[in-house]
Chain A
C-alpha cells in the first residue's frame, strides 16, 4: 500500500516539476495567425480567398462519395459531418479504445477506411487524405482545442515533451529555442510563431499547396538539419500530442493559411 502511495506521490511530483518546466513562459498561447501579416490574416479569414477551402470542398465531396468494396461513404455511417463530427477534431490525437492504437485525425480516417469501408489506406499528403482531414477538422473550426490526456497517453506526452526540449540536428537546436524563447522575434524577414498545430491541415504559401502537421514538423526538423521522422511515426505522433496539449486555449482554425 505504501509503495503505491509513494509511487503515486513521485508521479505527481514529477508531473508538477515537468509542468512547471513546460510552462516556463506561462502565458496564454497565441495562434500562428496572430504573428502573421495583415495579408495572411485576410487570406485566412476570407473563406473564398482561403486556398485551403479548396481542400475542404474536395473533402466534402469525398465524404459523400461511395468508397471501398461495399461502396459505403463516410456519410453512410456518420451522416452530416457538421453535426456528427463537430468537436471531434478538438480531441485528437487520442488512443482508440477499440484497437488500442494511438491515432491522429489522419490515422483515424485511415482506420475507418480500412476497417469499416474496406477501402485502401490513404498516404500522407495525398490529395484525398488532405481533403478528408481538412474537411473533418474544419467541422471543429472555432472550437477550443480540448485534447484529453488519458493515463495510457501520459507516456506519449512525456516523450513528446522530451522531443520538444531536446537539442537536435546539426544546428543543435530544440523546438523551444525558436518557438518559446524567441516567439515574436524575427528570423531573417519572418516573425517566429509559437508553433502550434491548431490550424492544420494548412495551406502553406511555401508549399503552394495544402499540407499536414507532420509535413510541417518534418520541415522544422530539416530546418535544424536533423533527420526527419517518417510521416505517422511515433515521434511525430507524440510531438503532436504534446503540441495539442500546449495549444489548449486556442481554437481550431482549419484550414489555416501560413507563409
Chain B
C-alpha cells in the first residue's frame, strides 16, 4: 500500500465516521455482517442509536477476557424498563455473544461481564425496551496478539 492510498483510505474513513451521527438509525452504520442478526432480533424494526452505553477499555489487555459494562438510560419502572440487552460482534466467529434479560425489578439497567473479542472490532449492544422499541450503543476495542507467543 502506498502512502497516497493510506491517506485516501484514512480520509474516507474519517468522512464516513462524521456521517454516522447518533441521530441516524443504526442500519445506516452497520456492516452487512450484523444487519441480518439485528433484523432477527428486532423483526426488522428500526433501531435507534442512543441510551445504551458500552463501557470497555479502548485497548484490551487480551482478547480472551475484556471487561465490559453495558448500561441503558432507563427509569426501570413497571411502565418503562429494559427487557433485554443483546451483545453482538462483527468479528467473532459467533456474532451473538450474549443476551441478558432484565425487567423492572432490576432497578438499574446495568450489567458488567467479561467478553472474548476475536480481534479489533466495534462491539454492538442492542436494548429492547418494554414499549417494544430498540436502542443501541457501540464501543471500539483494539485487540492485539500476545507479544510473546505462549505455547501453553
Contacts and interface: CB of A to CB of B under 8 A. Distances in A.
Q: Do chains A and B touch in the complex (CB under 8 A)?
A: yes
Given A39-B61, A205-B61, A207-B152, A189 B67 contact: no
A205 B152 CA distance: 12
Interface string B39-69: 0000000000000000001010110110100
Contacts of A38: 57
Interface residues of A, number: 21
Contact of A208 (B64, B145, B146, B149): B64
Interface string A32-57: 00001111100100000000000000
A259 B150 CA distance: 11
Contact of A189 (B57, B64, B144, B149): B144
B61 A37 contact: yes
B23 interface: no
A188 interface: yes
A223 B62 CA distance: 17
A42 B110 CA distance: 19
Contacts of B144: 188-190
A220 B148 CA distance: 8
Contact of A223 (B59, B61, B148): B148
A90 to B, nearest CB: 27
A70 interface: no
Contacts of B145: 188
A21 interface: no
B147 A40 contact: no
A219 B64 contact: no
Nearest to B116: A208
Interface string B65-106: 101000000000000000000000000000000000000000
A222 interface: yes
A259 B60 CA distance: 10
Given A189-B144, A205-B62, A43 B67 contact: yes
B151 interface: yes
B147 A188 contact: yes
Interface in B97-152: 142, 144-152
Contact of A206 (B57, B59, B64, B142): B64
Interface string A179-195: 00000000111100000
Contact of B151 (A39, A219, A259): A219
B61 A259 contact: yes
Given A37-B57, A39-B57, A207-B152, A190 B147 contact: yes
Given A43-B67, A189-B144, A219 B62 contact: no
B65 A187 contact: no
A146 to B, nearest CB: 30
Contacts of A208: 64-65
A38 B64 CA distance: 17
B149 A40 contact: no
Given A37-B57, A39-B57, A189-B59, A205 B65 contact: yes
Nearest to B146: A206
B149 A223 contact: yes
Given A37-B61, A219-B152, 12 more contacts: A39-B61, A40-B61, A188-B147, A189-B59, A190-B147, A190-B148, A208-B64, A219-B150, A220-B148, A222-B149, A222-B151, A259-B61
Interface of A: 36-40, 43, 187-190, 205-208, 218-220, 222-223, 228, 259
16 contacts: A37-B57, A39-B61, A39-B67, A189-B147, A205-B61, A206-B64, A206-B146, A207-B152, A208-B65, A219-B148, A222-B150, A223-B148, A223-B149, A259-B61, A259-B62, A259-B146
A-B residue pairs, 4 tightest by C-beta: A205-B62, A223-B148, A188-B147, A187-B147
